[in-house]
Amino acid sequence: MPELPEVETTRRALQPMVSGKTIDRITTRCPKLRWPIPAMLSDQLTRGQINGIKRRGKYLLFTLKDRPDRLLVHLGMSGSLRVTDSHADLRKHDHVILSLNDQRDIRLHDPRRFGAVLLDTPDSPHPLLQKLGAEPLDDEFSAELLKSHCKNRRMAIKTAIMNAQIVVGVGNIYACEALFAAGIDPQKPAGKLSDDEYAQLVSAIKRILKQAIEQGGTTLRDFLNPSGNPGYFKQTLNVYDRADLPCRTCGTLIRKRVLNQRSTYYCPHCQS
DNA sequence: CTAAGGACCTGTCGGC
DNA sequence: TGCCGACAGGTCCTTA
């Protein structure tokens, strides 16, 4: 479900509701999501006061006051976080519950269980965070950086921008949209873009992610932020999920093809 | 080293 | 109505 804009939307909605609250209890209702949920989790974090929520790529990092331990949450493909009254009925697939001291819960709902709940401590910094590439909205993510990673690579450019070791947070929707905005064929070998194309692509990624965040992310089927509201970026999508519909720029029918087992949408005329 | 494919899961939708 | 296959917003790991 969530790419960077949806994760950031979640973070922004959640943070003011939970900052300063104390975690009374953590209940794990299923033993593993993508990975086993650490047994230490509850012992390590209970009684901790939430300081804030940071984001790195698509990971949410809950930080605590006066403690270095951090709770990592990844929403995978179908995960979402919601704040509810602690007496509210549990839904199917509410897998992890953080009970706060204000009679409210943060509940992780994740039908497909591709998400993750992990611990990051000074003693054992989580390896998944160590290998991540540039934050797309930071200045560090530049045309030069993208070009250097793509040098001599024959993989499709779409695959490159979805590679979290190069740049984090760009998933299938925004990869398609950014390539359309930059006028680049998703299948073009990553190493064969011109300098101008790297620049166009990098600025398109930044622009589109920012715009999507402003609109609360993309609700395709079921994404809701922690307050239960959908995102409005769907109406801004130019190619994603628009197979056989006319390109908004030139009227050519949008095509869909599978690239690396992911549906890829593009305009054969605008992205030559 | 790079690139491609499988794996992990459940839910939903379209076609027959 | 029911069954079956295809597909879904992610990404690590194995294999070639």
The answer to whether residue A137 sits within a structural domain is no
- Using the 3D structure, point to which of A75, A98, A130 is the last residue of a domain: A130
Write down the mean pLDDT value for chain A: 96
Task: Please state the domain count of chain A.
Answer: 2
The answer to whether residue A138 sits within a structural domain is no
Kindly determine whether the C-beta of residue A164 is less than 7 Å away from any atom of nucleic acid strand C. Answer: yes
**pTM exceeds 0.95, yes or no:** yes
CATH number, domain at A175?
1.10.8.50
Domain identity same for A165 and A247: yes
- Using the 3D structure, point to which of A98, A130, A162 is the last residue of a domain: A130
Our answer to whether residue A104 is catalytic in this structure is no
Our answer to whether residue A112 is catalytic in this structure is no
Pick the catalytic residue from A11, A21, A55, A58. A58
Domain identity same for A84 and A159: no
pLDDT, mean of residues A7-26: 97
Q: What is the pLDDT of residue A222?
A: 80
The answer to whether residue A136 sits within a structural domain is no
Q: Which domain holds residue A15?
A: 4-130
Domain identity same for A249 and A189: yes
- Using the 3D structure, point to which of A130, A160, A184 is the last residue of a domain: A130
Residue A138 CB neighbour total at 10 angstroms = 10
- What percent of chain A is modeled with pLDDT above 70? 100
Q: For the segment A69-91, what is each residue's pLDDT rounded down to a tens digit?
A: 999 999 999 999 999 999 999 99
Residues 6+ apart with CB under 8 A from A125: none
Measured between alpha carbons, how far is A74 from A226 in angstroms, rounded to an integer? 15
Kindly determine whether the C-beta of residue A173 is less than 7 Å away from any atom of nucleic acid strand C. Answer: yes
Q: What is the pLDDT of residue A232?
A: 92
Domain identity same for A107 and A177: no
Q: What is the pLDDT of residue A174?
A: 97
Please check whether residue A83 is in contact with residue A125, taking contact to mean a CB–CB distance below 8 angstroms: no
The answer to whether residue A272 sits within a structural domain is no
Distance in Å from C3's C1' to A199's CA comes to 50
pLDDT, mean of residues A18-47: 95
Q: For the segment A187-215, what is each residue's pLDDT rounded down to a tens digit?
A: 999 999 999 999 999 999 999 999 999 99
Residues 6+ apart with CB under 8 A from A211: A233, A236
